[in-house]
Amino acid sequence: MTRRSTLRFAMRGLWRELRSGDALVLFGALAVAVASMTAVGFFTSRVAAGVAREATQVLAADLRLESASPIAARVLARARRDGLRVAQETSFPTALFHGDRSQLVAVNAVTPDYPLRGRVRIADVPYGPAIATTAIPARGTVWLDSRTAAVLGLRPGMSLRVGAIRLRFTRVLAFRPDQSVGLVSLAPALLMNAADLPATTLIQPGSRATYAALFAGPPAAVAAYRTALRAHPDPAVRIRDAAENSRELGSAVERASRFLNLASLSAVLLAAVGVAMSARRWASRRVDGVALMKCLGASQRFVLGVALAELAAIGALALIAGTLAGAIAESGIAWLLRSLVARELPAASVQPIAVAFATELAMLLGVALPPLIRLRRTPPLRVLRRDAAPPRLRHGVVPALALVALFAILWLMVRDSALVVDLAAGVVAVGAVLAAAGFVLVRVTRRFRGGVGVAWRYGLANVSRRGVASVLQVVAFGLGLMILLLLAVVRGDLMREWRASVGARAPNEFLINIRPQDVPALRRALAALGAADTPMFPVIRARITAIDSRPIASLHFAGARGRAFAEREQNLTWSADLMPDNRLVAGRWWTPADEGKPWVSISTEYRDALHLKLGDAISFDVAGEPLTVRVASIRQVRWDSFRPNFFLVFPPRLLDGAAGTEITSVYLDARERPGLAALAQRFPTVTVIDVDAILAQVRTIIDRASLAVQYVSLFTLAAGVIVLLAAVQATRDERRHESAILRTLGASRFTVLSGVAAEFVALGSLSGLLGAAGAAATGWWVAHRLFALRYAPDPRLWWFGILGGTVLVGVSGTLAARRVVGAPPAQSLRAEG
Amino acid sequence: MHPGSNGAPLALDAIGLTKTVDSPSGPLTILADVDLRVRAGETVAIVGPSGAGKSTLLALVAGLDTPTRGRVAIAGTDLGRLDEDGRAAVRGRQVGFVFQSFQLIPSLTALENVMLPLELAGDPNARAAATAALTEVGLSARLAHYPRQLSGGEQQRVAIARAFVGRPPLLFADEPTGNLDAATGRRIAQLLFELNRAAGSTLVLVTHDRELAARCDRIVELDAGRVVG
Ligand SMILES: Nc1ncnc2c1ncn2[C@@H]1O[C@H](COP(=O)(O)OP(=O)(O)O)[C@@H](O)[C@H]1O
Ligand SMILES: [Mg+2]
């Protein structure tokens, strides 16, 4: 019994088992897990690689400074002295109008050397062939992207109003190196010459502009300059370089891919159930053979070696097949998300294969190996006494370790321990709830046996008799269907409910950058359009310098939000009255007598992110003036009212000296909207933001992304099918025997098959019911907790769930069991020996 | 080798075999102080009613199970001093089996089933030898058939071919005709004795069939775990 003969035995056995279908389910379970992991892994690795490759390009420079206020001239002068090339870019959103159409665009005003890295690409006509250029728009001209040109009905050569001046649209802007905002580049853009910027009057104190300074040069000079900048950090200025940028984009990719990973992991967990079931069955099918081989002289090492070699070969085949399937499926994800990932993706990395391999190994070691190891101890006595069985495994250590390994992999993929803990708890909780519900349902089917025909009676009897296996299948499919229904039906319902709850006449246009001197005239103009009584709020920008006299730089905040609040400039306002969509949760609102007092009212988000409480002192830098105030009240804000709202509200008269702009929001219906064009011409500094358009854009993103997640969830269903096949296989001998007896008693093939169909139809409708109930419950919870909405599931949910489950499980189960019950009874009865 | 009473070496030497198992009503002795000494070339029948302990005795002397007390030696090798793998190795070299329930591997063809012991022993000519063995039992036309495609008698022929293919000096058969009808059973028994004589091997045959037992050189009668005659 050499190693060669072990291997030869294993390979011959494997071939037979694959052919007879015994090892096929195990192979399928592993392959589904590998496919779902590699499909998602390949895709995210391609996106990550694409992002990393373009990290310097995306900056359009080697080093980039960004600030909400203009970059100091001495900073630029110093860079020039150090031998660096310098360019500047000012970006802000504004609405463009042409005729009665409008479009919000990101304006980028650049100086002649822009971009320092990468090339701008332009075309002569919208959607025409693009060529690279080193120029920037000449004074008096703009380059506009194809989509905006199409929306506004502009053709090259026409002129358009930008703020207070008219500029000529000369070229179509096809690509800008720094056009991407993180992963997603959606905002249409306009490129103009920085020299034209002052005349537009679009830049006002408090406008939402970003000022960027771009630097490029020899690496040593860039490094020296960066060191010098870091020596005197200015908290208002962000330094971005390629390394930091690719890190940041990388983590954005990670965040974005989280849901895809979660969907694929649910498939992996289900597949692990399939692996456990089929490996058990596989091992138990081998017991007789092993006993005989040992009786004929085989050693324990040999029988274990053969089993391990077979298992390894199945694992290797599954890895190959799963990876191939994953690669094919990946192109599906890439296609679904093609409009969101606006770049050419490079080839995928092989790392996902390693991760899938590790997962496969964990599953095999944890759930497949123990029954095989047990096999080694099969007593040869079994050839004489059927009841001589391998001893039970005493240690649950191996499965426990495998579970730990699975969750470690999970963490690796999601990189968020809270999420992993939640998910683990969720899996256990959902599994337990589904199992309990499944158990009850399975018990209930027993009641229905009285009044139905023989086929149904036989089928339903099987459902309740194979209790544990039935519950397992119901849970497996229920889970897969639940995820799909949640994404396909409940999500849409929730969106509609939310939109309805916001109200038909909720504001749909934001007007920002309103100069105080324009307020009365603008109010009259809006009233003329039909939007009476528009509350205006002053907007002042300020930065936190200290909390309770401790400098903000010395405080640490765990959450990203806390850091953002602490580091970035904040918009704040003052108001005599509490906003109607705000609710006080602590402290009291000020009275007229309190006006001018050094108080502030903060929102609950602010309180949570910065760990604040009533009476805490917050120090601000308001346009260079220090100001320290105490927290007088805490407000719960309903952000989705589409009215201007603020984290920070001050009492009137406290900030009287500070210069700022005003903001308002109005509801205009489709008939009134065109009037905005004239209004924008009269008040060129005002930027109009169309909420509906932004919501539509967000919706497109969510739709696409959730379509991709649904697509990945199909793997969960595939894993469910595997669990079903494993369950059918585990009952194969039993079924063969029963059907032989039934047919010997005179039942037709059709009657027996109808009984089997009845069993799986019952199982399918149960899991569909369960999946729909799970989706409805989750939808209700999300609606209630996250959106404070009332949610009644659409009746379609139940139909989709029950019908989907019935068809899916009924068809696949019946097909799987068909071969077994179809065999001639004589052969089946004889095969039992 | 231990000399037997007539001077021939002992193929099997079992002394004082006792097997006690745990049962719900306390320890249960299913075999009590049984001796079994078989000379090389001898044929011995073990008879007795169902539940007498025949299969238990066979399992112990074949090293498939270990006795609670007592000693077993096959061709002079003390099984008690070997571990499970050691006992398996002795079986692989010395012992052939025929069972009541045939014990063919359902996923292997007749030929592959017969090749199995040779392959386990690393014999490079397994295929040729197995084909010859199957031809000897009259199944040369059924080499590629699977057990389920064969009748009971044919399956037992395959099992007999498998038992003889490695030319083991010692053969154990546990109720080889027990699952067969009378006529088929007689033909199978005939084949078994013929092959055994031709090979000159030692045969230990468990049966409750008196007629079959009578064809052996010696009969050992068991009842309730004890030798009664
Ligand atoms: N491992 C065991 N555990 C419990 N009872 C056993 C065990 N092995 C054998 N027996 C019992 O011992 C008795 C003898 O069994 P066996 O040797 O198979 O009898 P025979 O082959 O003569 O019919 C039977 O009653 C059987 O049930
Ligand atoms: Mg017996």
* Banded pLDDT at A506 (limits 50, 70, 90): confident
- CA nearest B121 in A: which residue? A1
| Mutation test residue for ligand 1: of A384, A385, A386, A387, the one with most atoms within 8 Å of CB | A385
Domain-wise residue ranges, chain B: 10-227
Residue A73: exposure state from Cβ atoms within 10 A (0-12, 13-18, ≥19): exposed
Residue A184 has pLDDT above 60, yes or no: no
Over its C-alpha atoms, chain B yields an Rg (Å, rounded) of: 17
Residue B193 has pLDDT above 90, yes or no: yes
Structural tokens at position A23: 């090892």
Residue A17 has pLDDT above 80, yes or no: no
Structural tokens at position A820: 């077994």
Preceding peptide of B49 cis, ω within 30°: no
Q: Which residues of A touch B (CB under 8 A)?
A: 1-2, 5, 9, 13, 16-17, 20, 22, 288-289, 292-302, 379-381, 383-385, 827, 830-831, 833
Q: Is A393 within 8 Å of A370 (Cβ atoms)?
A: yes
Question: DSSP labels for A360-373?
Answer: HHHHIIIIIHHHHH
For B37-63, what is each residue's pLDDT tens digit? 999 999 999 999 999 999 999 999 999
Instruction: Quote the CA–CA distance of A108 and A196 in Å, as a whole number.
Output: 11
Distance (Å) of CA A495 to CA A490, A492, A646, A660, A801: 9, 5, 24, 36, 20
Indicate if ligand 1 lies below 6 Å from the C-beta of B100: no
From ligand 2's centre to the CA of B55, what distance in Å?
4
Q: Crossing angle, helix A24-53 and helix A691-730, to 10 degrees?
A: 150
Ligand nearest to the CA of B53: 1
Of A504-513, A701-710, A740-749, B116-125, the range with the highest mean pLDDT is B116-125
Q: Is A218 left (phi over 0), alpha (psi -120 to 50) or beta?
A: beta
Residue B2 has pLDDT above 50, yes or no: no
The pLDDT value recorded for residue B175 is 92
Instruction: Quote the CA–CA distance of A87 and A747 in Å, as a whole number.
Output: 87
Instruction: Quote the CA–CA distance of A219 and A212 in Å, as a whole number.
Output: 20
pLDDT mean over B141-146? 93
Residue A697: exposure state from Cβ atoms within 10 A (0-12, 13-18, ≥19): middle
B119 contacts in chain A (CB < 8 Å): 5, 9
- CA nearest B118 in A: which residue? A296
Instruction: Quote the CA–CA distance of A477 and A427 in Å, as a whole number.
Output: 14
Closest CA to B188 of B157, B226, B227: B157
A833 contacts in chain B (CB < 8 Å): 101-102, 147, 155, 179
A384 with B121: Cβ contact below 8 A:
no
Instruction: Quote the CA–CA distance of A365 and A372 in Å, as a whole number.
Output: 10
Of A295, A302, A831, the CB nearest to B64: A295
B88 with A16: Cβ contact below 8 A:
no
A380 contacts in chain B (CB < 8 Å): 64, 84, 88
Instruction: Quote the CA–CA distance of B189 and B181 in Å, as a whole number.
Output: 12
Instruction: Quote the CA–CA distance of B85 and A365 in Å, as a whole number.
Output: 25
Residue A830: exposure state from Cβ atoms within 10 A (0-12, 13-18, ≥19): middle
Indicate if ligand 1 lies below 6 Å from the C-beta of B203: no
Distance (Å) of CA B92 to CA A6, A799, B88, B120: 16, 63, 6, 8
* Banded pLDDT at B192 (limits 50, 70, 90): very high
Q: Is A222 within 8 Å of A215 (Cβ atoms)?
A: yes
The pLDDT value recorded for residue B106 is 83
Residue that wins the pLDDT comparison between A369 and B136: B136
| ipTM of the complex, rounded to two decimals | 0.90
The pLDDT value recorded for residue A185 is 45
Closest CA to A63 of A76, A47, A48: A76
Phi then psi for A564, rounded to 5 degrees? -60, -45
Q: Is A410 within 8 Å of A450 (Cβ atoms)?
A: no
Indicate if ligand 1 lies below 6 Å from the C-beta of B52: yes
Report the nearest-CA residue for atom 2 of ligand 1. Answer: B21
Domain B10-227 has what CATH class?
A: alpha beta
Residue B6 has pLDDT above 60, yes or no: no
The pLDDT value recorded for residue A256 is 66
The pLDDT value recorded for residue A43 is 87
Chain mean position to CA A324:
24
Residue that wins the pLDDT comparison between A501 and B220: B220
A297 with B116: Cβ contact below 8 A:
no
The pLDDT value recorded for residue B27 is 92
B148 contacts in chain A (CB < 8 Å): 827, 830-831
B64 with A379: Cβ contact below 8 A:
yes
Q: Is B57 within 8 Å of B9 (Cβ atoms)?
A: no
According to DSSP, the β-strands at B202-206 and A582-587 are unpaired
Residue A238 β-bridge partners: A66
* Banded pLDDT at B151 (limits 50, 70, 90): very high
Residue A830 has pLDDT above 70, yes or no: no
| Mutation test residue for ligand 1: of B50, B56, B205, the one with most atoms within 8 Å of CB | B56
Q: Is A32 within 8 Å of A329 (Cβ atoms)?
A: no
Instruction: Quote the CA–CA distance of A61 and A87 in Å, as a whole number.
Output: 9
Instruction: Quote the CA–CA distance of A758 and A753 in Å, as a whole number.
Output: 8
Q: Is A83 left (phi over 0), alpha (psi -120 to 50) or beta?
A: left
Of A13, A295, A830, the CB nearest to B97: A295
Taking all residues of chain A, what is their mean pLDDT, rounded to a whole number? 81
Indicate if ligand 1 lies below 6 Å from the C-beta of B50: yes
Give the three-class secondary structure for B48.
coil
- CA nearest A20 in B: which residue? B107
Give the three-class secondary structure for A490.
helix
Between vectors from CA A209 to CA A205 and to CA A211, what angle results, nearest 5°? Answer: 110
Distance (Å) of CA A507 to CA A93, A94, A821, B41: 19, 18, 65, 106
Q: Is B180 within 8 Å of B149 (Cβ atoms)?
A: no
A299 with B64: Cβ contact below 8 A:
no
- Residue A384 CA: nearest ligand 1 atom is 18
Instruction: Quote the CA–CA distance of A553 and A103 in Å, as a whole number.
Output: 40
Q: Count how many Cα atoms sit within 13 Å of the Cα of residue B118 in the half-sphere of its side chain.
A: 22
For A384-438, what is each residue's pLDDT tens digit? 888 888 777 665 666 676 677 777 776 766 666 666 676 667 767 777 877 787 7
H-helix segments, A512-638 = 519-529, 560-567, 604-610
| DSSP code for A639 | G
For A324-369, what is each residue's pLDDT tens digit? 999 999 988 888 887 666 556 778 888 889 989 988 988 888 777 8
Residue A53 has pLDDT above 80, yes or no: no
The pLDDT value recorded for residue A776 is 87
Closest CA to A300 of B88, B93, B115, B81: B88
Residue A826: exposure state from Cβ atoms within 10 A (0-12, 13-18, ≥19): exposed
Provide the shortest C-alpha distance from residue B150 to chain A (in Å).
9
Residue A103 neighbours by CB distance under 10 Å = 21
Residue A706 neighbours by CB distance under 10 Å = 19
Closest CA to A519 of A542, A532, A537: A537
For A427-477, what is each residue's pLDDT tens digit? 677 778 777 877 777 777 766 665 556 667 777 777 777 777 777 777 778
Interface with B, mutate which of A1, A12, A295 (most B CBs under 10 A): A295
Please provide the distance, in angstroms rounded to a whole number, between the alpha carbons at the two ends of chain A.
30
The pLDDT value recorded for residue A827 is 55
The pLDDT value recorded for residue A80 is 92
Residue A90 has pLDDT above 50, yes or no: yes
For A269-280, what is each residue's pLDDT tens digit? 888 888 888 888
A384 contacts in chain B (CB < 8 Å): 55, 58-59, 64, 99, 174
- Residue B23 CA: nearest ligand 1 atom is 4
B106 contacts in chain A (CB < 8 Å): 831
* pLDDT above 70: percentage of residues in chain B: 97
Q: Crossing angle, helix B152-165 and helix B126-136, to 10 degrees?
A: 130
The pLDDT value recorded for residue A833 is 39
Distance (Å) of CA B147 to CA B142, B150, B177: 10, 5, 17
